[in-house]
Amino acid sequence: MPKNFVLPTSLEPYKGIGDSRAHVKKFQSMIFFNGANNEPILCRAFPTYLDGAALLWFSKLSAASISSFEELARSFIDYFAGSRIYVHGLDYLGTIRQGHHESLKEYMTRFAEVTMKIPDLDPAVHLHALKAGLRPGKFRETIAVTKPKTLKEFRERVAEQMEIEELHEAERTERKQPRKEEDKTIRSLNNKEPRKQFKLTPKFDNYTRFKTKRKKIIKEILNVKIIKPPARAGSYQDQRFVDRSKHCTFHQKYGHMTDECVIAKDLLERLARQSLLDKYVKGRRNKENTRDREERQRTSENKDDNKWSNPNPPKGIINYISGGFTGRGETNAARK
């Protein structure tokens, strides 16, 4: 072997399954690429890329039965001819048809994937199969009129048709885009209709009358951190389609006023009943607080009455006369 010769490492060993002719061609091209082009090197290096059944075949060759690499390759190809596996043959090309909604580019790509696996394909057969598989339409009629005689001429017509199809597809996409935006807007508006019908119910029967507007109270108690703003404050979605003339100080979003916000109104009422907003209260507290105070007073009075009451009342009365018991002492004794 030559001193600087290195065996290629990218070629997978042949195991007896697959195209034996393709394996020989790959082997020769790699050996020639590495600078070796003589019979002894080809013959000695070839068994290195055999494995399994193929290596077993080589080991059974009789001594001095091979005189050249050409003879070795021919014997190898003939022996494993039955192991050649193709995805499709020539007969399959006649079954490939362009789909009704398949673009010309997709059809040509699918056809090329099949033809690449068929060795020694006749160009005339290739061209005839391509023409026959075209979908009925204007392009097929154009091919029938121009009658391209070679694959090169046919591919030139195909390239022109692909550009036309891509242009039409781009135009269809542009026309569909505004419709999608309109559909989104319509769906957004339709989704808002149920929300308009939904209305929060106040949690209190009556509310404290404040001497200051709720908007100002909300701002002040937010500043002093008596309350915290909602978790999603300022990040609400669909703010493009709301009435921006209305703004809620508590929710920090557009669409409704602070005085119309039931949540803010209930929040202020809870704080007022906890005596946290006394400086904003107008006059006395509401009637409900008065009733609570009266109820506490009645409860306190009841406790005082019960404090002096005898928990064990007498079961009867004993009549006692100074100087002794009367003759009716037994009868006048305990009455229940």
For residues 252-277, average pLDDT: 82
Domain-embedded: residue 328: no
pLDDT of residue 232: 61
141 vs 328 pLDDT, higher one = 141
Domain-embedded: residue 326: no
Q: Is the pLDDT of residue 209 over 50?
A: yes
Mean pLDDT of the chain: 76
pLDDT of residue 201: 78
CA distance linking residue 16 with residue 51, whole number of Å: 8
Ordered DSSP codes for 35-52 = T--SHHHHHHHGGGGB-T
98 with 67, same domain? no
CA distance linking residue 80 with residue 57, whole number of Å: 10
Q: Is the pLDDT of residue 40 over 60?
A: yes
Contact criterion met (CB below 8 Å) for 104 and 161: yes
Contact criterion met (CB below 8 Å) for 250 and 230: yes
62 with 128, same domain? no
Q: Is the pLDDT of residue 33 over 70?
A: yes
214 C-beta neighbours (distance < 10 Å), count: 20
Least confident of 157-166, 198-207, 316-325: 316-325
Contact criterion met (CB below 8 Å) for 260 and 229: no
Domain-embedded: residue 208: no
Contacts of 260 (CB under 8 A, 6+ apart): 246, 248
58 with 35, same domain? yes
pLDDT of residue 329: 44
pLDDT of residue 136: 92
Domain-embedded: residue 108: yes
Domain-embedded: residue 322: no
The label of the residue with tokens 């002093």 reads 224
CA distance linking residue 31 with residue 45, whole number of Å: 9
For residue 149, what is the DSSP state?
Answer: -
Among 83, 117, 138, the domain-final residue is 83
- Give how many domains the chain has, as a whole number: 3
Burial 291-311 (b: 16+ CB within 10 A, else e): eeeeeeeeeeeeeeeeeeeee
Among 134, 155, 170, the domain-final residue is 170
For residues 1-10, average pLDDT: 76
Contact criterion met (CB below 8 Å) for 86 and 113: no
DSSP reduced 3-state for 296: helix
pLDDT of residue 283: 61
Structure tokens that stand for 108 in this block: 């040509």
Supply the range of the domain harboring residue 278: 214-288
Among 65, 83, 101, the domain-final residue is 83
78 with 99, same domain? no
Q: Is the pLDDT of residue 327 over 70?
A: no
286 vs 110 pLDDT, higher one = 110
pLDDT of residue 153: 93
Structure tokens that stand for 151 in this block: 């694959």
75 with 137, same domain? no
Domain-embedded: residue 116: yes
pLDDT in tens, 86-112: 545 677 788 889 998 899 999 999 998
pLDDT in tens, 128-161: 999 999 999 999 999 999 999 999 999 999 999 9
DSSP reduced 3-state for 88: coil
Phi/psi of residue 40, nearest 5 degrees = -60, -40
pTM: 0.35
Phi/psi of residue 116, nearest 5 degrees = -65, -20
Domain-embedded: residue 305: no
Ordered DSSP codes for 207-262 = -PPBSS-HHHHHHHHHHTTSS---TTTT--S-GGGS-TT-EETTTTEESS-TTT-H
The label of the residue with tokens 């949540």 reads 263
Contact criterion met (CB below 8 Å) for 279 and 297: no
Contact criterion met (CB below 8 Å) for 43 and 69: yes
Q: Is the pLDDT of residue 288 over 70?
A: no
Domain-embedded: residue 190: no
Q: Give the pLDDT band of residue 51 (cuts 50, 70, 90).
A: very high
143 with 99, same domain? yes
Any idea what the CATH number is for the domain that residue 159 is in? 1.10.1200
